Chains A and B, each alone.
Chain A
Amino acid sequence: MTQPAAKSPNPLSLKERMKVPRQPMPEQPPLLRVANFKEVNLGYSEDFARQEALRCLECAKAACVNDCPVGVKVKEFVQLIVAGNFMEAAAKIREDNVLPAITGRVCPQEDHCEGGCLMGKKVTPLGIGYLERFVADYEQRYMDPRNIKRASPSGKKVAIVGSGPSGLTAAGDLVQKGHEVHVFEALHELGGVLVYGIPEFRLPKQIIREQIDYMRAMGVQFETNVVVGKTVTISELMEEEGFDAVFIGTGAGSPLFMGIPGEHWNGVYSANEFLTRINLMHAYEFPKYDEPMLDFRGKDVAVIGGGNTALDAIRSALRLGAGKAYVIYRRSEAEMPARKEEVKHAKQEGIEFRVLTNPIEFLSDGKGWLSGVRCVRMELGEPDASGRRRPVPIEGSEFEVPLSVAVIAVGTSANPLIQSTTPGLATNKKNYIEADPMTQRTSRRGVFAGGDIVTGSATVILAMGAGRRAAKSIHEYLTAGTW
């Protein structure tokens, strides 16, 4: 362990810091929150934030910074919190992360900054995500949008395809270099998966709108209702609309179904559809909003899958009034890809986890509506390609769970809209776009890609990392003019 830097504003000794407990995140109590779609986490107060910030050991070799896909200068912004300079702390985060209020809420910190935190090796890691969220919310409350600086124009135009995390990050970084940035979004609302995928109780729409307004103030231009590949092609953007470079950040796209009998019964949803109805279309507010939703009150619901999307879906179902709510997952809880905090929250809310269980058939009531799911119990065998132990069905262990609604959240596959309309754009055998992992360059001059459309489903922060690398390399390309 290293000594704190001489200029540290932290009055506590390293020993004293270890004794300060991690400040808990204030949250809506489970019984209350399952009846509403409001945010579960309520955010730190100033006192909580300053107290938590005191715990930072200010390591010379800060693992938190290295482990952050966008390289947020954690130690520096935390020191600014200790000093009470919250606006400066926000500016420090913004040097590397244009969406701090979002990452502060949805990042799997345990896999990145907090995972490497030295405090975590001894006691509990520093609440970096909570602190980031606090600073971002503080900034939103007190900032004056007139103070947002605009860079002097470079004369170059960049098109960003998709307004999800990778696109917004690339847009934010590029506009700060003076490039004219236009973001094209297929849906009517900006934010991509942040809007259609992540529910209000985890990431309120208002937060996304504020972050996007901030980007507008930085000079980013947005156009909704443009499906690139249909409304306009990449070639047309470059040849007819004068864009010097294009970044493709369209996300993973198409929902995977399981290919088991009965997936077409009424009541069986893809997670994408179920969440889009709720989040983008506000179906949970029917009839105030017109998009309809089935009546969930008292009905038994299951989600199939163990990722964040699965938990978002089942927790939404609970808030629609579901009776029993199950997570059905074929591996064990240890292999679940969901954020730990979401698993904890889901359990507090009374969601039942049926792990080592795999659906083999959806059953119907004979009138076209789902009545249940037949499952088989699984056990873990040898590790598979992902390094996780492969689940193997246990013969003769079939059983049925009565259900009214099932939501399938077993992943996504590449949406081919852009690949099939962009000549010269190389793809891999799963039809994801080939892009250099460092420069995000594709096989086509001037075209860059990043996020889920390159890697397959991942996380918000990994997509943002790709957007950031792409912005850097787009800037280099536009400045040097060589490919």
Chain B
Amino acid sequence: MYKILHAEFIAPGIKRFVIDAPRIARKQQPGQFVILRVYEEGERIPLTIEKSDPERGTINIVVQSIGKTTNLLNSLESGDGIRDIVGPLGRPSEIGKFGTVVVMGGGVGTAMAYPSAAALKRAGNRVITILGARSKDLVILEREMREVSDALMVTTDDGTYADKGFVTDKLRQLVENGTRIDLVLAVGPIPMMRAVADITRKENIRTMVSLNPIMIDGTGMCGGCRVLIDGKSEFACVDGPEFDAHRIDFAVLVQRNSMYRVAEQKSMGDFQLERESLLEKVHAEQAECALQGGGR
């Protein structure tokens, strides 16, 4: 059992957790993720680590309510526990001195781009950050991102905050203005990352994106997270999660992510009906685990 030390919504449906996980905190590097299982009957899902505090032995994750597992997770509070967390998994982001780097965060992807942006800044890059969200209240980590960026732009789809439009509009402007860009790092929904790749491919700008396909073990054992890179299978859990966006077959990525849509919708429907009783069950399991010494 991994204890939640702090939990708060930072935007509607988006919650930040500070979790006691000393082994993971000690080793985490930007770009890496954990796989967690909320309770005994739960599924394993991958989530990127926002940051960690090796001294306190804590990691932060930022979770957006989408399906059953993320909704259940976001129903947990400080003092609750998470059954299993394993990590840090995946290769860390490549951090070096590239020159000018454009970091793009779409929605909750911003939390995943944040540690890499901070590390890229520390490595001496000029960091231009572009954040995007559907509307004003879903813009997250703007202050934190600003601290590690030389310039920061924000877009909202509906124009309720900053500039109306998409992050790709800003990227296109940078390109059209003749800004020299040495690297783009984009983390967000697949259509956003794909659109970024389309722009930078023409300009021959190296572009990395972080993928989040369906995963189970996260150690390269099951092969469920395979993605087509230059026509060959690679495993996002151990070869990624970051890949060169120009080499990714996005169509296959979208297709494979849809594999369990029917089951996922059923789970979500059941969850809405059984939320209270499920939470009771999760709390009972936590209490039992605590009685047994809270073992891992």
Contact = CB atoms under 8 A, between A and B. Distances in A.
A77 to B, nearest CB: 34
A186 B252 CA distance: 29
Contacts of B222: 255, 270, 272-273, 276
Interface residues of B, number: 44
Contacts of B157: none
B260 A257 contact: no
B296 interface: yes
Identify whether the interface residues of A are mostly helix, strand, loop, or mixed.
loop
B216 A281 contact: yes
A230 B263 contact: no
* For the complex of A and B, 7 pairs with smallest distance between CB atoms: A292-B263, A368-B255, A273-B222, A270-B223, A188-B84, A292-B260, A225-B86
B226 A264 contact: yes
Given A231-B24, A231-B88, A290 B41 contact: yes
A280 B24 CA distance: 23
Interface string A290-305: 1111110000000000
B84 A291 contact: no
A417 interface: yes
A249 B46 CA distance: 25
Nearest to A364: B255
B211 interface: no
A368 B216 CA distance: 21
A287 B267 CA distance: 7
Identify whether the interface residues of B are mostly helix, strand, loop, or mixed.
mixed
Contacts, number: 123
B267 A264 contact: no
Interface string B149-163: 000000000000000
Contact of B216 (A223, A227, A230, A273): A273
Contacts of A225: 84-86, 296
28 contacts: A186-B217, A187-B86, A224-B84, A225-B86, A226-B86, A227-B86, A227-B218, A230-B87, A230-B89, A231-B23, A231-B27, A254-B220, A254-B235, A257-B233, A263-B233, A264-B226, A264-B233, A266-B259, A269-B224, A272-B221, A273-B222, A289-B43, A290-B42, A291-B43, A292-B260, A368-B252, A415-B221, A417-B220
B88 A255 contact: no
B219 interface: yes
B258 interface: yes
A415 B220 contact: yes
Given A276-B222, A277-B216, A264 B86 contact: no
A31 B69 CA distance: 36
A231 B255 CA distance: 32
Contacts of B258: 266, 368
Nearest to A224: B296
Interface of A: 186-188, 196, 223-227, 230-232, 253-255, 257, 263-264, 266, 269-270, 272-273, 276-277, 280-282, 286-295, 368, 415-417
A226 B266 CA distance: 32
Contact of B23 (A226, A254, A269): A226
Given A227-B89, A264-B228, A276-B216, 13 more contacts: A187-B86, A224-B84, A225-B86, A225-B296, A226-B86, A230-B219, A273-B216, A276-B222, A287-B266, A290-B69, A292-B263, A368-B258, A415-B219
Given A232-B27, A272-B223, A288-B41, A417 B238 contact: yes
B126 interface: no
A230 B27 contact: yes
Interface of B: 23-24, 27, 37, 41-44, 68-69, 83-89, 216-224, 226, 228, 233, 235, 238, 252, 255-256, 258-260, 262-264, 266-267, 270, 296
A445 to B, nearest CB: 24
B220 A253 contact: yes
Contacts of B238: 417
Given A225-B86, A231-B88, A232-B27, A289 B233 contact: no
Contacts of B27: 230-232
Contacts of A286: 263
Contacts of B267: 287, 290, 292
A8 to B, nearest CB: 48
Nearest to B67: A290
A257 B223 contact: yes
A368 B251 CA distance: 9
Contact of B221 (A255, A368, A416): A255
A290 B23 CA distance: 27
Nearest to B27: A231
Contact of B219 (A264, A282, A288, A417): A417
Contacts of A272: 221-223
Contact of A276 (B37, B221, B256): B221
A211 B256 CA distance: 38
A294 B41 CA distance: 18
A294 B259 contact: yes
Contacts of A277: 216
Contacts of B84: 188, 224-225
A301 to B, nearest CB: 15
A289 B228 CA distance: 30
Contacts of A293: 263
A287 B270 contact: yes
A188 B86 CA distance: 8
